[in-house]
Amino acid sequence: MNKPISFIICFTALFITACTPKEKLQQPEAEPSPIILNKNTQIVQPDLYATIPKVVRYDRYLLINTSPTLAQREPLEQVIDIHIPASQRSTVSDAMRYVLQPSGYSLCKTTPSNQVLYNQKLPVVHHQLGPMRLKQALQVLAGAAWQLEIDVVQRIVCHSLRVGYQLPLEILTNSTSSANRMLK
């Protein structure tokens, strides 16, 4: 009769100690010292883009990933669902500026070559975009003849004509004649 009582007492004691949280002493992570390139520039260590995602304990039973999302690291990878008002007489460049607003990127200056694209009237089907990645939306707005170019340093988006396509002859002659006028 003593064996079942001692078994119940041991089991209860084990159960109670297993359910109580154990305090762990958290030691601060040693941060590596930054590499100094010159007086104003430092390389941050560890490099956010070269590290493995870190999972930390957030609550008693919850583990979270503390790494930034893909959209936070690469703003042009964010998923957008945008409606451009049809009442506006929008051009392709207006639409591109509109979809780029929340990303922090801007559209490049208009050149004689990309002016052909940017001054086009926005097709009605492009007034509703998404859900799709912002990078894809910029390519859809441009069309198959145009290559998306991204300057990640200055956060500028631009388009150039793909190989195999050519600009209209009047654009080429106008840009050549204006270049000749500038040389004179």
Q: What is the 3-state secondary structure (H, E, C) of the chain?
A: CHHHHHHHHHHHHHHHHHHCCCCCCCCCCCCCCCEECCCCCEECCCCHHHCCCCEEECCCCCEEECCCCHHHHCHHHCEEEEECCCCCCCEHHHHHHHHHHHHCCEECCCCCCCHHHHCCECCHHHHEEEEEEHHHHHHHHHCCCEEEEEECCCCEEEEEECCCCCCCHHHHHHHHHHHHHHHC
Q: Tell me what the mean pLDDT of segment 135-140 comes to.
A: 96
- Interval 8-41: pLDDT, tens: 676 666 556 555 554 444 444 555 555 555 565 5
- Interval 35-93: pLDDT, tens: 555 565 555 566 666 767 678 888 888 988 888 888 998 999 999 999 988 766 789 99
The pLDDT score that the predictor gives to residue 2 is 62
The pLDDT score that the predictor gives to residue 48 is 61
Within 8 A by CB and 6+ apart from 157, the residues are 76, 96, 100, 105, 106, 107, 108, 138, 148, 149, 150, 151
Q: Tell me what the mean pLDDT of segment 118-132 comes to.
A: 93
**Residue 144 predicted with pLDDT over 90:** yes
The pLDDT score that the predictor gives to residue 131 is 96
Is the backbone peptide bond immediately before 131 cis, with ω within 30 degrees of 0? Answer: yes
Question: Vertex 110, ends 109 and 114: CA angle to 5°?
Answer: 125
The pLDDT score that the predictor gives to residue 67 is 83
Sign of the Cα torsion 129, 133, 136, 142 reads positive
**Residue 164 predicted with pLDDT over 60:** yes
**Residue 133 predicted with pLDDT over 60:** yes
Could you report how far apart the first and last alpha carbons of the chain are, in Å? 114
The pLDDT score that the predictor gives to residue 177 is 56
Model confidence at 182, pLDDT cuts 50, 70, 90, reads very low
The Cα–Cα gap between 12 and 19 comes to: 11
The pLDDT score that the predictor gives to residue 100 is 96
Six-digit token string for 52:
């493995």
Q: Tell me what the mean pLDDT of segment 132-141 comes to.
A: 96
- Least confident window among 79-88, 122-131, 166-175: 166-175
